[in-house]
Amino acid sequence: MTAASPDSDRAISAEVPDWNREAKGAFEWAPSRALLASIRAYQRHRAGRGPVAALGRVFATLRHRFWSVVTGADIPVTCRIGGGLLMPHPNGIVVHPEAVIGPNCLFMQQVTIGMRAGKVPVIGGHVDIGAGAAILGLVTIGNHARIGAHALVIHDMPEGAVAMAPLAQIKSDSQAE
């Protein structure tokens, strides 16, 4: 099932991952895609047994550590990430190891997906999260939701909902004192 917003010229599925969104060219400098590739490589070798799988996990772990430093992102290899995740500016992205992220999501810089009261979020498919936003605790974010920059989400969001941070209040110099 796909859905398109009225202001969108294309539909993106919330259920079927678009793996092309994570594809990296052979000589392309794309640190966020390389980080995701290292996570996917570790997850492929995690269930395997024997020396080849063990060597694959070690190599994937080393790649993950390298790309984590390059990107400045803290995304553990153990979290469940649906395919098609986009991170145009991965600097400062933090994801809890037990978080669940649906397919075709978009994370901007400084996004935090974290624990609150011992619980972690579940994010649906095709959720766009703006710069500096934080999703904390046992929160379920519905498919096609949009979370604005610097929004703090601590309550469930239905499908297609929009969350925004409070607007800045403009004051003159005399009022600021």
| Mean pLDDT of all residues in 135-149 | 95
Structural domain includes residue 142: yes
With a CB cutoff of 8 Å and minimum separation 6, the contacts of 32 are: 71, 73, 86, 87, 88, 89, 90
- What pLDDT, on the 0 to 100 scale, is given for residue 167? 74
3-state secondary structure of 34: helix
Structural domain includes residue 12: no
Structural domain includes residue 169: no
Q: What is the percentage of the chain residues whose pLDDT exceeds 90?
A: 72
CATH code of the domain covering residue 127 = 2.160.10.10
User: Length of the chain, please?
Assistant: 177
- What pLDDT, on the 0 to 100 scale, is given for residue 1? 41
pLDDT tens profile 36-77: 999 999 999 988 889 999 999 999 999 999 999 999 999 999
Structural domain includes residue 53: yes
Range of the structural domain that residue 98 is part of: 29-163
Structural domain includes residue 171: no
3-state helix, strand, coil in the chain (%, to 5): 25, 20, 55
Total number of domains in the chain = 1
Distance between CA 86 and CA 20 in Å, rounded?
10
Structural domain includes residue 134: yes
Q: Provide the mean pLDDT of the chain.
A: 89
pTM of the model: 0.84
